[in-house]
Structure 1
Amino acid sequence: MATTSAPSGAPALVPDGRAERLTGRLGVGSIVFMVVAAAAPLTVVAGSVPIGIANGNGAAYPAMYAVAAVVLALFAVGFTAMTRHVPNAGAFYSYVGVGLGRSAGLGSAFVALTSYVTVQGAVYAYLGYATGELVSSWVGLALPWWAWALAGVAVCGWLGYRHIELSGRVLGVLLLAEIAIVLVLDAAVVLRGGADGAGLSTALVEPSQLLSGAPAFGLMFAVAGFIGFEATAVFRDEARTPERTIPLATYVALAAIGVFYTLSAWAVVSAYGDEEAVAVAASDPGAMVANAAQRYLGTAASDVLQVLLLTSLLAAVLSFHNVLARYVFSLARAQVLPAVAGASHAHHGSPHVASLATSLVGAALLVICAAAGLDPVVQVFTWLSGLATVGIIALMLLTCIAVIVFFRRTRADRRAWHTLVAPALGLVGLGGALALVVVNLPLLMGGSVVLGVGAGVLLLAALAAGWVLAAARPAAAAELLLTPRAEGAPQI
C-alpha cells in the first residue's frame, strides 16, 4: 500500500527511506517466469535457432547456447554477490553507479532505457506481424500489422497497471504452454531416434563441427537469446526476502534457459539430420520448427505451435514492459525523470504512472514506424532488436567492471571467486561477445552500415548523457552516494 510522497524539496534518501514503494510478495518462481518469458523461449527456438544453424556453425550451433550460458553464469556470480550491497530496484544503473560512480550509473540508466524501449518496440512489431498473418490465413480478416501491435500495447498496459502478481500468473500460464509444446517436440524427436531413425545429432560435441562455419557469429546469436534473464534485480521491491530471492531467481532462470535452448536446438537439428538441417535452415528458416512439429507430432500440433508463438511474443513483451516500467519508476524516485512517474498505485501497489508512460512510448514508436512505411520484421524488428542487443550486452559488461571495482575498493566481500575471478572471466566473455556484436552490427541492422553506425552513436550519446546530467543536477540519483561502502558488510 503506497503512502504520501516525501515533501517537495526534501533531501534525497536511499530507496528504503522513501515513501513511495512498490509492493508484492514475488517468490523465486514468479520472478523466474518474468525473466524467462522475456527471453521468449519458443520465439528463440522457432526464430533464432534456424538462423544460427544457417549462419553460425551449422549442426553444432546448439553448443553455442551452452557456451553462452557459461559466460553469463560467470557474470551472474558477481552480479548476485553485489545484490545485498545495492538496496535499490534500479538493476544495472544502480550496480554501475555504486561501483563506478554516479555519472556512469546515470549513463547506464539512459542506455538501459534506450535498450528496453527498442527491444519492446521490436517485439511489439513482430507480434503485430505474426498475429496478422495467422488471423488472415485462418479467418480471412486482414488488418495492418500495427493495429495488432497496438492491441498488444493495450493488453500489456492493462496488465502492467495492475498488481505485479497478476502479470506473474499470466506469464506463468503462457510460459508453461510454450515450453510444453517444445519439450513434447523434443521428446518425439528423441524417441524416434531423429530423422528416419538414423540417430541423434552428435555435432555439438565434435570439435571439428564446433569450429566449422562461423562459430563467432553463432555465439553472438546465442548470447542474444538470453536477453531478459538479467532483469531479476528490477523486481527487488516486490520480492520476498530479496537478498535470497534475487540471486536464486537469477541462477534458476539462467540454468533453465541454457538447458532448454541447448536441448531444443539439438532436437531441431536431430529432427532433420545434420546436413538436411543446415539446408532447411538456409532455405526456409521461418517454417523449420513448425514443419518439424508437423512431421513428428501432426498438423494439429503444428497449428498449436503457431498460436503459442504469438503467446510467446506477448509474454516476452509483457515482461519487457514490466522491466521498463520499473526502470522508469526507479529513475523518477531518484529525481532523474519527472517525479510523477515515481508514484505507486494505492490499491495495486504497481508503478501505474510509469506503466502508462511505457505504453505511450511504445505506441508512439509503433505509430512512427508505421507512418514511415517500415516493414515490421525486416526493418522494425531487425533494427530495434539489433540496437537493444548491443545496449544490453554493454550494460552487462559495465556491471562486471562495477562489481570488480566495488569489491576491490570496499572489501565488503573477500571471496575471490565471487568478487574477482568469476566477474573477470565474465568480463572477458562479454567483451568478446560485445566485440562480435559491434563488428556485425550492420548485419543486425539489415545490412546497413549507416544504421549500424547510427545505433552505436545513439548508445554512446545515451551513456555520455549521464555525465551531463550528473553535472547539471547534483540531486539526481543521489542515493548512489549514500550506499554503504564500509568494510565488513554482510556476505550473500
Structure 2
Amino acid sequence: MVLAAAAPLTVVGGAVPLGIALGNGPAYPAAFAVCCVVLLLFAVGFCAMARHVGQAGAFYAYVDKGLGPRAGLGSAFLALVTYTAIQLSVYGYIGVALDGLVQSYGGPHIPWWAWTGTMIALVGVLGYRHVDLSGKVLGALLIGEVGIVLALDAAVVGTGGDHGLSTALVTPSQLTSGSPGLAVTFAIAAFIGFEATAVFRSEARDPDRTIPRATYLALALVGGFYTLSSWALVSAWGDEQAVAAAGRDPEGMLMATVSRYLGPFAEHLAQALFVTSLFACVLSFHHVIARYLHSLAQREALPAQLGRAHPRHHSPYAASVVQTASAAALIAVFTLAGMDPITQIFTWMAGVATAGVDVLMLLTCVAVLVFFRRTGSDTRAWHTRWAPALGGVGLAVLLTLTVLNFPLLIGGSTVLAAVLLGVPAASFVVGVVRERRRRGDAVAVAA
C-alpha cells in the first residue's frame, strides 16, 4: 500500500522531469538521496514510538501522545487536508492521462473531468470493500510499473547512456546550480505516504514487528529506486540535453526515453502503466483518508457514523463513502472554476501537500522527543534523542525551502502562495479549537 502510494512510475514520469527542468538540472537525483537520509533519521524515532501508540492515526496519533490532544487533533485535521490535496492533484492528472491514452489508440476525446469522475467511482467501490482486495490490485499494478522503469534503467546503464553515465549528482558545482530548493520540494513530495504503515496498524497481524520493518523497507526501496531511475533518465539524454528535454516536454520525456531505449511496444505499455500508477496512488490515499476519518470518529472528533465498520468487509465503509463524495465535490468545484488539471490542480495541490507533510513530520519529531523524555519508556539514546533531533533539523530545513520556493511553483504569486499555504495552517487551528470545545463540553456534561 505504501509503495503504491509512492506511485513510482508517476514520480519518474511526472515529478522527475519537472525537478530536472525547474530544480538543479542533471544533479536532481541527489535530492532524492538527501530526502531519503532525512526521512530515515525521522523513521528511527517514528518506529521506536510505534509500539507505544495504540491508535491507527499515524502522525496525529503520535502528536497526540507526545504533545497532547489539542496538538493531536490539529495534526489530524492537517493530515486530512494534506492527503486530500495530494489525492486531488493526482485526480487532476489521471483524467488527462486517460484521455491521452484513449486517443493514442484512436479513441475519442473526452473531457478530463469525465475520466476523473469515472476513476473516483471505481476507487469508491474498491475502498468500500476489504483492504485485502485493494492490496491485491495495487500489488499487481505496482509490479508492472516498477518492472518497466527497471527495464529502462538497465537498458540505459547497459548502453552507457547518450553521452556516458552522468556524474552530476556527485559534482558540487552541479548540486548547487539552478534551484536546489525547488529540487528538494519535488523530491520530498515523492515520499508522501510512507507513514501509512502506521495507519494500517489495526489491520496488521503483528504491528510491533511489521510496522518498523515496512517503514524502513519502504523508505530504502523508494529512495533507492528514485535516485537510480532519475539518474538513469538524465544519463539517457546527457546532462545538458536532459535539462533541455525536460524543459521542452516534461510530460512526454519519459515516454520518449522508453521508446528510444526499449522500443514502441514498451512505450505503449508504459503509457498504460502510467495511468495505472496514478490509479494506484489515488486508491492508496483513499484508504488512508478513510481510515483517518474512521479513527477521528471513534475519538468523537467527527460524527460517530463515520466510525462504522462494514459487517462483512470489515472496512471503514461509511468514511470511505464520505471520502468518495468529498473528492467528487472538490473536483467538480475545480472544474467549474476552469482550473487546468496539470498546471493548476496537479501542481498547486502537490505543493500544498508537500508543505503539509513537512509540518506533520516535524511535529511528530518533536512529539517523539517529548514523549520519551517524559516517560523514559525507552532509554536508547540514538532512537529516542539523537536520530529524531537530527531528523527534525533536516525536516525544518526542507520545510523552509518548500515555503520559500512555493511562489515559484505556482507562477510567482506570493498572494496566491499565502492563500494556498494558509489552508493547511487553518486546518490545524480548526483542529485545536475543535478539541478545546469538545473537552469543554465534556467537562460541562460531567459537572
Fold-level match, TM-score > 0.5?
Answer: yes
State which of 249, 256, 274 in structure 2 corresponds to 1:284. 249
Q: Is the 1:95–1:403 contact (alpha carbons within 8 Å) kept by the matching residues of 2?
A: yes
Q: How far did 1:255 drift? A: 0.5
1:324 paired with 2:293, answer no
Q: Is the 2:181–2:402 contact (alpha carbons within 8 Å) kept by the matching residues of 1?
A: no
Question: CA-to-partner distance for each residue in 1:337-371, whole Å, 9 max, x for gaps?
Answer: 11011011110110011111100000001111111
Question: CA-to-partner distance for each residue in 1:17-42, whole Å, 9 max, x for gaps?
Answer: xxxxxxxxxxxxxxxxx111111111
The two structures have a TM-score, normalised by structure 1, of 0.88
Q: How does 1:152-191 map to 2 (within 5 A)?
A: 152-191=119-158
Matching residue of 2:321: 356
State which of 392, 396, 399 in structure 2 corresponds to 1:427. 392
Return the letter of the residue paired with 2:297.
A
Q: Is the 1:335–1:476 contact (alpha carbons within 8 Å) kept by the matching residues of 2?
A: no
Q: Is the 2:185–2:354 contact (alpha carbons within 8 Å) kept by the matching residues of 1?
A: no
Matching residue of 1:37: 4
Return the letter of the residue paired with 2:37.
V
1:130 paired with 2:97, answer yes
Q: How far did 1:142 drift? A: 1.7
State which of 182, 192, 200 in structure 1 corresponds to 2:165. 200
Name structure 2 gaps, 5 residues minimum: none
What SS is found at the alignment partner of 2:290? helix
Question: CA-to-partner distance for each residue in 1:411-459, whole Å, 9 max, x for gaps?
Answer: 1111111011011111011101111111122223343322210122222
Name structure 1 gaps, 5 residues minimum: 1-33, 479-492
Alpha-carbon distance between aligned partners in 1 of 2:442 and 2:411, rounded to the nearest angstrom: 37
Alpha-carbon distance between aligned partners in 2 of 1:59 and 1:383, rounded to the nearest angstrom: 24
Return the letter of the residue paired with 2:290.
A
More helix by share: 2
Q: How does 1:475-486 map to 2 (within 5 A)?
A: none
Matching residue of 2:354: 389
**Aligned CA distance change for structure 1 residues 341 and 476 (closer, same or farther; 3 Å):** farther
Return the letter of the residue paired with 1:455.
L
State which of 122, 146, 167 in structure 1 corresponds to 2:113. 146
**Aligned CA distance change for structure 1 residues 294 and 477 (closer, same or farther; 3 Å):** farther
Alpha-carbon distance between aligned partners in 2 of 1:315 and 1:476, rounded to the nearest angstrom: 41
Return the letter of the residue paired with 1:423.
P
1:345 paired with 2:310, answer yes
Q: How does 1:447-462 map to 2 (within 5 A)?
A: 447-462=412-427
Q: Is the 1:379–1:446 contact (alpha carbons within 8 Å) kept by the matching residues of 2?
A: no
Q: Is the 2:181–2:405 contact (alpha carbons within 8 Å) kept by the matching residues of 1?
A: no
Q: How far did 1:207 drift? A: 2.2
Matching residue of 2:20: 53
Alpha-carbon distance between aligned partners in 1 of 2:109 and 2:246, rounded to the nearest angstrom: 29
Alpha-carbon distance between aligned partners in 2 of 1:306 and 1:477, rounded to the nearest angstrom: 54
**Aligned CA distance change for structure 1 residues 241 and 450 (closer, same or farther; 3 Å):** same
Matching residue of 1:443: 408
1:315 paired with 2:250, answer no
Return the letter of the residue paired with 2:45.
G
Matching residue of 1:75: 42
Q: How far did 1:477 drift? A: 11
1:365 paired with 2:365, answer no
Q: How far did 1:302 drift? A: 1.0
Matching residue of 1:98: 65
Q: How does 1:245-256 map to 2 (within 5 A)?
A: 245-256=210-221
Return the letter of the residue paired with 1:466.
G
Return the letter of the residue paired with 2:387.
A
What SS is found at the alignment partner of 2:51? helix
Q: Is the 1:103–1:467 contact (alpha carbons within 8 Å) kept by the matching residues of 2?
A: yes
Matching residue of 1:216: 181
Alpha-carbon distance between aligned partners in 1 of 2:44 and 2:329, rounded to the nearest angstrom: 38
**Aligned CA distance change for structure 1 residues 475 and 43 (closer, same or farther; 3 Å):** farther
1:298 paired with 2:263, answer yes
Question: CA-to-partner distance for each residue in 1:220-272, whole Å, 9 max, x for gaps?
Answer: 21111111112210000000110111111001110110010000011001101
Q: Which moved more, 1:130-139 or 1:84-93?
A: 130-139
Alpha-carbon distance between aligned partners in 1 of 2:103 and 2:433, rounded to the nearest angstrom: 49
What is the CA RMSD across the aligned residues, in angstroms? Answer: 1.5
Alpha-carbon distance between aligned partners in 2 of 1:476 and 1:379, rounded to the nearest angstrom: 41
Q: Is the 1:102–1:470 contact (alpha carbons within 8 Å) kept by the matching residues of 2?
A: yes
Q: How far did 1:476 drift? A: 9.4
Alpha-carbon distance between aligned partners in 2 of 1:186 and 1:476, rounded to the nearest angstrom: 59
Alpha-carbon distance between aligned partners in 2 of 1:475 and 1:130, rounded to the nearest angstrom: 49
Alpha-carbon distance between aligned partners in 2 of 1:344 and 1:420, rounded to the nearest angstrom: 38
What SS is found at the alignment partner of 1:327? helix
Alpha-carbon distance between aligned partners in 2 of 1:365 and 1:159, rounded to the nearest angstrom: 20
Question: CA-to-partner distance for each residue in 1:173-220, whole Å, 9 max, x for gaps?
Answer: 00110000000000001111111xx42112212222222222232122
Alpha-carbon distance between aligned partners in 2 of 1:311 and 1:321, rounded to the nearest angstrom: 15
Matching residue of 1:266: 231
Q: How far did 1:67 drift? A: 0.8
Q: How far did 1:304 drift? A: 1.0
Q: How far did 1:382 drift? A: 1.4
Alpha-carbon distance between aligned partners in 1 of 2:130 and 2:432, rounded to the nearest angstrom: 35
Matching residue of 1:108: 75
Matching residue of 1:7: none
1:463 paired with 2:428, answer yes
Alpha-carbon distance between aligned partners in 2 of 1:62 and 1:200, rounded to the nearest angstrom: 13
Return the letter of the residue paired with 2:272.
V
Q: Is the 1:50–1:288 contact (alpha carbons within 8 Å) kept by the matching residues of 2?
A: yes
Q: Which moved more, 1:344-353 or 1:462-471?
A: 462-471
Q: Is the 2:2–2:194 contact (alpha carbons within 8 Å) kept by the matching residues of 1?
A: yes
Q: Is the 2:70–2:435 contact (alpha carbons within 8 Å) kept by the matching residues of 1?
A: yes
Give the paired residue count. Answer: 443
Return the letter of the residue paired with 2:215.
T
The two structures have a TM-score, normalised by structure 2, of 0.97
Q: Is the 1:470–1:476 contact (alpha carbons within 8 Å) kept by the matching residues of 2?
A: no
